[in-house]
Structure 1
Amino acid sequence: MCAHNPPCPTAMAPDREAARSVAHRPEQGWCRLCNGVVQFEDTGVLLPDGRLIPPCRDALAGRPS
């Protein structure tokens, strides 16, 4: 999927969220990365195969409400 040089991490790589954003919808709270991952502002992740990685609650603990 990725045409960047050097290539971005794959969707299955541990550092998958380091891939470049190709579609950003801040008003909806998500962005799509070039590896097919959809990353949500609450830190949740949707993988290209449909699996969901839930939000990291530690990251949310420091956010003001």
Structure 2
Amino acid sequence: MCDHQPPCPSADSPDREAAHPVAHHPGQGWSLLCNGVLLFEDTGELLPDGQVIAPRRPLGTHQVITAA
């Protein structure tokens, strides 16, 4: 699918998110990468073979402040 030089990572490689976007729809929260991966704003992914990769959001670093 990819004709970039050097070629983008394949959909089954660990760095698949580094592929070039071919369609970007921020209002809908997704991008299509040239390797066929649908990348969602919440960091979830849908691979071309139908496999779903769950979102990997970083743990928050919020601190709870209480009134004294």
- Settle same-fold status: TM greater than 0.5: yes
Which sections of structure 1, spanning at least 5 residues, go unmatched?
none
* 1-structure distance, mates of 2:56, 2:21: 20
Alignment of 1:1-65 (within 5 A): 1-58=1-58, 61=60
TM-score (norm 1): 0.88
Secondary structure, counterpart of 2:58 in structure 1: helix
Which sections of structure 2, spanning at least 5 residues, go unmatched?
62-68
TM-score (norm 2): 0.84
Q: Which has the higher helix share?
A: 1
CA drift of 1:58 comes to 1.9
Identity %: 64
Larger radius of gyration: 2
* 2-structure distance, mates of 1:27, 1:57: 19
* CA RMSD in angstroms, aligned pairs only: 1.2
